[in-house]
C-alpha cells in the first residue's frame, strides 16, 4: 500500500507539472488556486484579513502551497484505493487495464470540475468571470489523465516486480528501516508538492506584473442583458420542463368567476412589452445577480379583473410547477407594471427563466417574480411564500443600489491618462435621480452622468470620466439616490432578510510601468 501511495505522489507530480505548464501557457487556473479561492470564501472574512495582516503576501502564498500539498496527499490516497480496486477486480489489471485507467482519469476530472468549481461559487461550466477557468477545464482533463495513466503504469510495475509483493515477516530493524524509507519518500513528495505550489504562485503573481490596461469604454455593461448572460436563480437543481400544449393557468380563490387559460389563450390576450430589471434579494453589494430584459406578456390586472376580485381579498398567491410559491398584495397585483410574461428579449421565455409564463413585479426583488406559473389564487390572509418561511422579507422592496462595473476588478493598472468609470444603479420603480462617484474612499464625491433609463422599471447606466492625478492606490466608491431624492444607505447589511446594503468599492493601484 505504501508503494501505491508513493506512486500516487509521483502521479500527482506528473499532473501538477502539466497543470502548471497550462497555467503558464494559457493563463487558465489551477486546482490549488480554485481551492484557495473556495477556502478563503468559506473562512470568516475577519479571520482572513487578520491572517493577511500578519502574514502579508505570505498568507495566500502559503495557502496555495498548502492546497497543493493537500492535493498531492489526496493523490496518494486515491492511489491506495486504486491499488485495492485492482486487487478486488482482476479485470482492472488484465484486459480492462487501460480503459479503466482512462475512466479513472475522467472521473477525477469530473470530480475536480464539479466539486471545485461549484464550491467556488462559479457554478458549473457557467464561468462568466474575469479570470477564465474555461481554459482550465481541458487542462484539468489532460492533468487528470496524466495522473491516472502514470499511476497505473507505476502500480503495474510494482505489481509485476518479483518477490516484492508477498512481504515476508519483517525483522524489527527492517520495520524501522521501512518506516524511515516511508518518511523519506513522503517528505520528498511533500517537497515536490510545495515546489509545484510555489511555482503556481509565481505564475499567479507574475500575471499582474505586466500591469492591467485600463478597460476600454466599450467594457461598459450592456443596458439590456442578453439571455445567455442573464443570471438565474431557482430553488431546484434541475429546472422543470413544462409542456406548453398541456399547460394551464388557473385563476381562482376569492374571485367572482374562476378562470383557466391555456398557452394560446394567454397569448391572445392584449399584450404589453416593457423593460424591467430583475434583481435577486440575495445579490451582494457589487454582485451580478441582476439583469434587464424586454419582457412581453399580459398585465396580471387583465386576468384578475376578468375573474373579478372580491372585496375581502388581501393577497394574490402564485404557485409554480416546481412546488415554489409566493404572494404579492392585491394592490401590487393590480399595478400597471405587473406582468404575466411569456417572452423575453423577443423570444419565448427560455426554460430556465420560467417557460411558458412567469410573473414580473416592479419594485420587488426577484423572489416574487414566480417562474413556471401554474396557479393564481386570491386569498384574504397574509400568505407566506417559500422564501418567507425561510426568513426572507415579505415586502421585499428593492433597495437603492449602485455598482461599479468598469473597472471590473480591484487590481494593479497601468496609470491611464483618462480612466472612465462606469456601472449601473437601480432603485426599483422609484427610479434613479443621481449617481455619485468617489475616488478617495468616500471623502469627496462627484456627479456621474446617467443615461436615461429604458423604462421606469429599469436600472440606469452611469459614466464618470476620471483623470487620475498619478500613481497611487485609489478606493473607488459609488452611491445613488432614488427618484424621491433619498440617498442610498452606506450602512452595510447582509442580504438576509431585506437585501444587502452599503456602498460598492473597488480598489485600484495605479502604477506607471
Ligand X SMILES: Nc1nc2c(c(=O)[nH]1)N[C@H]1C(S)=C(S)[C@@H](COP(=O)(O)O)O[C@H]1N2
Give me the residues that bind ligand X (CB under 6 A), please: 231-235, 278, 280, 320, 322, 324, 353, 366-367, 369-372
Stretch that binds Mo ion, among 273-281, 321-329, 341-349, 404-412 (CB under 5 A): 273-281
Q: Which residue number places its CB atom closest to ligand X?
A: 366
Q: Which is nearer to ligand X, 37 or 239 (CB)?
A: 239
CB of residue 489 to Mo ion, shortest distance in Å:
21
Of these partners, Mo ion, ligand X, none, which one is at the site of residue 278 (CB under 5 to 8 Å by kind)? ligand X
∠ CA 230-137-36, rounded to 5°: 85
Q: Which of 146, 280, 396, 476 binds Mo ion (CB under 5 A)?
A: 280
Q: How is residue 217 annotated by DSSP?
A: G
- For residue 346, give the C-alpha cell: 423577443
Measured CA to CA, the distance from residue 455 to residue 111 in angstroms comes to: 45
Q: Which residue number places its CB atom closest to Mo ion?
A: 280
- Whether the CB-CB separation of 77 and 8 falls below 8 Å is answered with yes
Question: If residue 83 lies in a helix (H) or strand (E), which one and from where to where?
Answer: helix 58-88
Torsion angle defined by CA atoms of residues 146, 147, 149 and 151, in that order, rounded to the nearest 10 degrees: 150
Give yes or no for residue 286 binding Mo ion (CB under 5 A): no
Give yes or no for residue 480 binding Mo ion (CB under 5 A): no
CB of residue 371 to Mo ion, shortest distance in Å:
11
Q: Which is nearer to ligand X, 353 or 430 (CB)?
A: 353
CB of residue 34 to Mo ion, shortest distance in Å:
25
CB of residue 273 to Mo ion, shortest distance in Å:
24
CB of residue 1 to Mo ion, shortest distance in Å:
49
What residues have CB less than 8 Å from 476, skipping those under 6 apart? 404, 407, 421, 437, 438, 439, 505, 506, 507, 508
Q: Which is nearer to Mo ion, 490 or 494 (CB)?
A: 494
H-assigned helices in 207-359: 263-268, 300-307, 330-333
CB of residue 328 to ligand X, shortest distance in Å:
12
Q: Which of 8, 189, 297, 366 binds Mo ion (CB under 5 A)?
A: 366
CB of residue 464 to Mo ion, shortest distance in Å:
30
Q: Rg (Cα) of the chain, in Å, rounded?
A: 29
Measured CA to CA, the distance from residue 332 to residue 376 in angstroms comes to: 14
CB of residue 435 to ligand X, shortest distance in Å:
24
Q: Which is nearer to ligand X, 239 or 436 (CB)?
A: 239
What residues have CB less than 8 Å from 399, skipping those under 6 apart? 427, 488, 489, 498, 499, 500, 501
- For residue 236, give the C-alpha cell: 431546484
Q: Which of 127, 367, 376, 401 binds Mo ion (CB under 5 A)?
A: 367
- Whether the CB-CB separation of 16 and 8 falls below 8 Å is answered with no
Q: Which is nearer to ligand X, 287 or 442 (CB)?
A: 287
Strand pairing of 472-482 and 358-360? unpaired
Of these partners, ligand X, Mo ion, none, which one is at the site of residue 370 (CB under 5 to 8 Å by kind)? ligand X
The partner residues of 326 in beta bridges, in order of sequence, read: 318
Q: Which is nearer to ligand X, 212 or 289 (CB)?
A: 289
Total residues binding Mo ion (CB under 5 A): 4
Binding residues vs Mo ion (CB under 5 A): 233, 280, 366-367
Amino acid at each position: 500500500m505504501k508503494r501505491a501511495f508513493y506512486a500516487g505522489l509521483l502521479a500527482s507530480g506528473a499532473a501538477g507539472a502539466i497543470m502548471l505548464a497550462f497555467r503558464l501557457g494559457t493563463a487558465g487556473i489551477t486546482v490549488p488556486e480554485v481551492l484557495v479561492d473556495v477556502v478563503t470564501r468559506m473562512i470568516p472574512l475577519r479571520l482572513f484579513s487578520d491572517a493577511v495582516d500578519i502574514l502579508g503576501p505570505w498568507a495566500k502564498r502559503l495557502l496555495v502551497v498548502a492546497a497543493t500539498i493537500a492535493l498531492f496527499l489526496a493523490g496518494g490516497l486515491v492511489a491506495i484505493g486504486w491499488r485495492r480496486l485492482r486487487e478486488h477486480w482482476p479485470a482492472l489489471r488484465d484486459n480492462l487495464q487501460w480503459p479503466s485507467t482512462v475512466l479513472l482519469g475522467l472521473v477525477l476530472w469530473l470530480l475536480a470540475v464539479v466539486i471545485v468549481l461549484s464550491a467556488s461559487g462559479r457554478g458549473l461550466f457557467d464561468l462568466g468571470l474575469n479570470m477564465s477557468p474555461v481554459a482550465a477545464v481541458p487542462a484539468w482533463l489532460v492533468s487528470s489523465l496524466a495522473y491516472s495513466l502514470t499511476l497505473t503504469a507505476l502500480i503495474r510495475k510494482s505489481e509485476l516486480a518479483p518477490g516484492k509483493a508477498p512481504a515476508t515477516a519483517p525483522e524489527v530493524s527492517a520495520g524501522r528501516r521501512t518506516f524511515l524509507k516511508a518518511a523519506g519518500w513522503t517528505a520528498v513528495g511533500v517537497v515536490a508538492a510545495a515546489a509545484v505550489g510555489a511555482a503556481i504562485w509565481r505564475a499567479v503573481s507574475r500575471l499582474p506584473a505586466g500591469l492591467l490596461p485600463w478597460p476600454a469604454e466599450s467594457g461598459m455593461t450592456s443596458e439590456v442583458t442578453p439571455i445567455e448572460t442573464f443570471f438565474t436563480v431557482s430553488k431546484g437543481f434541475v429546472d422543470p420542463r413544462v409542456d406548453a400544449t398541456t399547460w394551464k393557468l388557473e385563476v381562482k380563490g376569492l374571485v367572482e368567476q374562476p378562470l383557466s387559460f391555456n398557452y394560446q389563450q394567454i397569448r391572445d390576450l392584449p399584450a404589453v412589452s416593457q423593460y424591467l430589471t430583475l434583481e435577486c434579494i440575495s445579490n451582494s453589494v457589487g454582485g451580478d445577480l441582476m439583469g434587464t430584459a424586454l419582457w412581453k406578456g399580459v398585465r396580471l390586472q387583465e386576468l384578475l379583473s376578468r375573474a373579478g376580485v372580491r372585496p375581502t381579498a388581501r393577497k394574490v398567491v402564485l404557485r409554480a410547477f416546481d412546488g415554489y410559491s409566493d404572494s404579492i398584495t392585491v394592490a401590487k397585483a393590480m399595478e400597471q407594471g405587473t406582468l404575466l410574461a411569456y417572452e423575453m428579449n423577443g423570444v419565448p421565455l427560455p426554460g430556465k427563466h420560467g417557460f411558458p409564463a412567469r410573473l414580473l413585479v416592479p419594485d420587488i426583488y426577484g423572489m416574487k417574480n414566480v417562474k413556471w406559473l401554474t396557479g393564481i389564487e386570491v386569498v384574504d390572509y397574509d400568505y407566506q411564500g417559500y422564501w418567507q418561511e425561510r426568513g426572507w422579507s415579505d415586502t421585499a422592496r428593492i433597495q437603492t443600489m449602485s455598482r461599479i462595473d468598469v473597472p471590473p476588478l480591484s487590481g494593479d493598472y497601468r496609470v491611464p491618462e483618462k480612466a472612465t468609470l462606469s456601472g449601473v444603479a437601480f432603485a426599483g420603480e422609484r427610479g434613479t435621480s443621481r449617481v455619485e462617484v468617489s475616488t478617495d474612499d468616500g471623502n469627496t464625491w462627484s456627479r456621474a452622468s446617467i443615461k436615461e433609463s429604458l423604462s421606469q422599471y429599469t436600472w440606469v447606466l452611469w459614466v464618470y470620466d476620471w483623470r487620475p492625478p498619478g500613481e497611487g492606490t485609489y478606493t473607488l466608491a459609488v452611491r445613488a439616490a432614488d427618484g424621491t431624492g433619498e440617498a442610498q444607505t452606506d450602512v452595510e447589511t447582509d442580504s438576509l432578510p431585506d437585501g444587502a446594503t452599503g456602498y460598492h468599492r473597488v480598489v485600484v493601484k495605479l502604477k506607471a510601468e
